[in-house]
Structure 1
Amino acid sequence: MRLRLPNTFVLLFAILAMIAAATWLVPGGQYDTRLVNGRQLVDPATFHYVASEPQGLVALMMAPIKGFVDAALIIGFVLIVGGAFAVLQQTAAIDAMIGAVVRAHSRSPLVRAAVIPVFITLFSLGGATFGMAEEAIPFILIFVPLALALGYDSIVGVSIPFVGSQVGFAAAFINPFNVGVAQGIAGIAPFSGMRYRIIVWCIATAVTIAFMMWYAARIKRQPQLSPTWALDQEKRQQATPAAAALVVMTARHASVLALFVSSLGVMVYGVVEYQWGVEEIAALFLSMAILIGVLGKLGADGFVAAFLHGARDLVTTALVIALARGTVILARDSHIIGTMLHALTPLVASASPIIAAQKMFVIQSVINFFIHSGTGQAALTMPIMAPLADLVGVSRQTAVLAFQLGELTTPMIPTSGITVGVLALARIPWLTWARWMVPLQLIYLVMALALLAPPVLMHWQ
């Protein structure tokens, strides 16, 4: 008899319940903070136990609504992006683009060989430079139907923008949101050690491309092997990609796509030059949707109907994000995150500096389950890990790299709002995705452990 696995909502609520139970067993603890260069940093020498605040049944049932409020920006962003892309799809410009790529894919061996490597490299570069993370969410609505039209599956469509950007974020060489902040806290020159970080990024991106090329070729040969085969059959029937492939690119389609690409360029520029956040990017997508509605001659009623339809389709995604954020709120309100960090710290000590660096990576991976913000995790852990690195014979540059690589688990963990939001958008159950991700995560684990050895051996500073 085959085991029937719970859906994402049941799984997330079970995690909520387990964290609530843990708050009755784990004592409260926290570190004092001090203001350094305008940032509140944790003082590693000030850990102390505080009064425990166990989270009972009432707190458990309130966690989803608190998560909704706490994640209001990202939820609003997802709804607006969903509406904007529904307007874009209503113009049939995406169908025309997919049709053009499908025809080129069928005619040109070069295009067939280049689609996956080129796009994964671009998204990885986005993560490595300007910290692309939530920005990858809108691309799910393009790459899933594109992957299906090319004979792949939804997993390929999700992996190109999502895994690509996340592996770039974790192996970043100039990302100000994790590398810049962590190096500043660790007291080393901003963006120093870039040469080795570029090597790390190249290896991590190449490993991702190689795995995805192998998987995509396998699914191309035997589509029934896909974990999402049944789901994709439904999507293909609903999307009618064969009809989409017949859509001829017109001047109107081209102008709509040009506006879309220009908007993405503005988004990248705003993030890099002006440190745009979710609010500014959401405003950009809303403005883009209005202009696309005008260019596409949808009319006021057609624009509003398309926008509301797109936003309505993402209500499930919004609820999933709220539940995921609720898990972090329970741990934060009970003050057990500081206690857990304090308990993990002594485990870093080792007779071998290489093993110590690798232990740092494992600990950062565990912490990443609860804290997904690169900046937030750096602010919490680097004030402790940096001086600890000095004690165990590991350079602070290596400690920063261990912190970065700990974020390689983000594409799999169910407490990440981005992860569950992306999967809900693609209509892939988390457990289906997690089973598929296990081999890639094991490859990332071995890769990260190996990449932490050379910096120790060469006394990387």
Structure 2
Amino acid sequence: MKKIPHVYVLIFCIIIFSAIATYIVPAGNFEREVVDGTEMVVPGSYETVESTPVGLFGILKAIPNGMIEMGLIIFFIFIVGGAFSILKGTGAIDAAIGTVAKKVQGKEGLLIPVLMTVFALLAASMGLLEEFLPFIVPIVMLCLALGFDSITGVAIVMVGAGSGFAAAFANPFTLGVAQGIADVPMFSGMAFRIPLFILVLTVSILYVYRYASKIKENPELSPVYEIDQKRGEDERISLDDLESLTLNHKLVLATMLLGFMILLYGVIQQGWYIVEIAALFLGMGIVGGLIGKIKPDDIAEYFIDGAKAMVMGALVVGLARGILEVLTAGQIIDTILFALSNAVEGLPGVFAAMGMFVFQTFLNILVPSGGGQAALTMPIMAPLSDLIDVSRQTAVLAYQLGDGFTNMITPTLGPLLAALALAGVSWEKYAKWILPLIGILSVIGLGAVTLAHMIQLGPI
């Protein structure tokens, strides 16, 4: 079997392809207006403009520009990685995970549905996704201790949250924005969305559980077996050799618990985002290190070591952003949007609804921001749905599912790449693992959109 190219090579090839497209695809722009603080595309305002193709130097500039644009997430990865390295250096995480692992031996599988359901509910109701990144490292470590692999750890968090994010019933940042733009009652359609949420989450849990069970029986089947084995030599927890929880360990864990409580309060009540969360974890790492009796110089060394381990995954976030930088500089994103919207408009009834889902799925690769995609497409899709006898609620559903499912695999989504970086899993291996699930969920999405159109899903 041919070796899959390095993710940096894949992304750079896409950047080059995008630059070539700026010489072929006509440049164009939609007019935009700000409505209630949200910038929206003005339907029917598309017009061609003078081409601004991206040359060789533009390709090279796109990469540092992408690094700059994604600087918050990149440094967030470094800081969280460094902070967890300090906390891990106290021995508290290893001791705590070992204690839990010993207690759940023989019933390890319960962790998968329970944790995935928790992450899914928080994503579906509050739109949390990036906020789960701090849980990646401890859950991956726990999975390794229980005989699973690092992909299982990533999946518990990102597939659990991704399922909830995609089939959300009260996500204010995607569903709420889209319904507001489409002039549909906020969070309406729950009678349809809640059963869909349960179906999507159940399928995702079964997929992860089946995989994890197979890996536990035969660890060599894991795509990351060699990586996890190497990790086993220097950082993986051995249940037999773990020391018991000491008072210092418990105090460090109490510091972490307090930190997570502050995190939830800050995110939900104070609107915290990347900077505040990174600052919290930096403080948690320093305080935890001091409580764990680590010398200040050693705290600095642990932080540097943790940040070093994040370099590859952190930088790929900025590299992937370079794709959007090229398409924006070449002014062809709106042209792509215009062409795809015209293609959907020409389809009859149920095929138009399915076309909307497919359109949003592929657009999410270019515009991975859920709220940004809603602001970009719903001003066009909402009136378009009126013209082709598709309910606006169905158009919102097509956007929601198209945006959500690809969030679990697209290489342009910062939080996914950050999660993989924190877990030490390459995007190539993860993508190959999750692709069948994305296919299954996409079939469910097409079925849901088709059913919504057939029953003319309304605003309630």
TM-score, normalised on structure 2? 0.95
Instruction: Indicate which of 444, 450, 454 corresponds to 1:457.
Output: 454
Q: Which runs of 5+ in 1 are unaligned?
A: none
Contact 1:353 1:392 in 2 (8 A): yes
Q: Deviations over 1:230-283 (max 9, x none)?
A: 222111122242167622122322232232223223222222223222112112
Q: Structure 1 residue 208: deviation in Å?
A: 0.6
Q: What is the percent sequence identity of the aligned residues?
A: 43
Return the letter of the residue paired with 2:75.
G
* Counterpart position of 1:288: 284
**CA–CA distance in structure 1, aligned partners of residues 367 and 320 of structure 2:** 11
Distance 1:351 1:12 in 2: 33
Equivalent residue number for residue 438 of structure 1: 435
- Name the SS for the 1:35 alignment partner: strand
Amino acid paired to 2:448? L
Q: Distance in 1 between matches of 2:258 and 2:66?
A: 34
Distance (whole Å) between structure 2 residues aligned to residue 295 and residue 174 of structure 1: 40
2 CA distance for matches of 1:21 and 1:139?
Answer: 40
Q: SS state of the match for residue 95, structure 1?
A: helix
Task: Name the counterpart of 1:380.
Answer: 376
Query: 1:346 offset after TM fit, Å?
Result: 2.1
Q: Once the 2 structures are TM-superposed, how far is the Cα of residue 308 of structure 1 from its aligned partner?
A: 2.1
Moved more, 386-395 or 361-370: 386-395
Q: Does 1:164 align with 2:160?
A: yes
User: What's 1:327 paired with?
Assistant: 323
What is the Cα deviation at residue 50 of structure 1? 1.1
Cα distance in 1, alignment partners of residues 427 and 347 from structure 2: 39
Q: Is the 8 A contact 1:68 1:319 kept in 2?
A: yes
Alignment length (residue pairs): 457
Secondary structure at the counterpart of residue 356 of structure 1: helix
Q: Which amino acid aligns with 2:13?
A: A
Asked whether the 8 Å contact 2:115–2:156 carries over to 1, the reply is: yes
Residue in structure 1 matched with residue 71 of structure 2 by the alignment? 72
| Counterpart-to-counterpart distance in 2, 1:276 and 1:390 | 38
Shift of 1:369: 0.5
CA contact (8 A) 1:27 1:336 kept: yes
Equivalents in 2 of 1:7, 1:376: separation in Å?
29
Match of 1:29 in 2: 28
- The match for 2:415 among 394, 413, 418 is 418
Deviation at 1:76, TM superposition (A): 1.6
Displacement of 1:134: 1.9
Inter-partner Cα distance in structure 1 for 2:193 and 2:103: 35
Q: Per-residue CA shift, 1:28-59, capped at 9, x if unaligned?
A: 11110112112221111101111111111001
Deviation at residue 351 of structure 1 after TM alignment: 6.2
Shift of 1:381: 0.7
Choose the corresponding residue for 2:207, options 208, 211, 232. 211
Shift of 1:103: 0.5
Residue identity matched to 2:58:
A
The Cα RMSD (Å) is 1.7
SS of 2:173 mapped into structure 1: helix
- Cα distance in 2 for partners of 1:386, 1:192 equals 16
The verdict on how the C-alpha distance between 1:202 and 1:258 changes in structure 2, with shifts beyond 3 A counting, is farther
Match status 1:447 vs 2:444: yes
SS at match of 1:452: helix
Whether the aligned pair in 2 keeps the contact of 1:96 and 1:245 (CA below 8 Å) is no
TM-score (norm: length of structure 1): 0.95
What's the secondary structure of 1:324's corresponding residue?
helix
Alpha-carbon distance, 1:25 to partner:
0.9
Q: Given residue 90 of structure 1, which amino acid in structure 2 is its aligned partner?
A: G
Return the offset for 1:94: 1.0
Query: 1:198 Cα deviation (Å)?
Result: 1.9
Runs of 4+ in 1 over 4 A off after TM superposition: none
Structure 1 residues 156, 408: closer, same or farther in 2, change over 3 A? same
